Amino acid sequence: MPEHKYTDGPWRVDSAFTRHAIKSPSHDIALVALSPQHEANAQLISAAPDLLQALEELDAMYARAWDTTDGGLHFSAESVAKFEAAHEKARAAIAKATGQA
């Protein structure tokens, strides 16, 4: 995976008083106004590192699985396990982004 310049995750939402704070273990990332719509926005922002990581893993597997000879996708047993793990990360990131986690 490429190195990123953003603050490492996991990020979380801490709601208090008049704002939602998106925080990492070491930094405040962003402040969002306190309302139901803004809470959804904060959840989506806090899931950004998880979403990016899951997509990068799926993208890397897709590139390795594509067979340029016959145009099909081919997975070894090891690749299937990695794909399933990346899919679960993606599902968890989606749940976090949508406030379902």
Q: How confident is the model over 6-46, as pLDDT tens digits?
A: 888 899 998 887 888 999 999 889 999 888 888 888 999 99
**Is the model's pLDDT at 73 over the cut of 80?**
no
Per the domain annotation, does 14 fall within a domain?
A: yes
Whether residue 29 is found in the same domain as residue 41: yes
Percent of the chain with pLDDT over 90: 10
Q: What is the DSSP letter of 45?
A: H
Please tell me the total count of domains within the chain.
2
> Is 2 part of a structural domain of the chain?
no
Task: Identify the pLDDT of residue 29.
Answer: 92
pLDDT at 11: 92
Number of other residues whose CB lies within 10 A of the CB of residue 22: 23
Q: Which residues of 46-63 are buried (b: 16+ CB within 10 A; e: fewer)?
A: bbbbbbebbeebbeebee
Examine residue 38 and state whether it is found in any structural domain, yes or no: yes
* Beta strands, E only, 1-101: 12-16, 19-23, 28-33
Query: Residue 39 has what pLDDT?
Result: 87
Answer yes or no: do 86 and 101 share one domain.
yes
User: Is it true that the peptide bond before 10 is cis, omega within 30 degrees of 0?
Assistant: yes
Provide the residue range defining the domain that includes 16. Answer: 7-46
Which pLDDT does position 63 carry in this prediction?
67
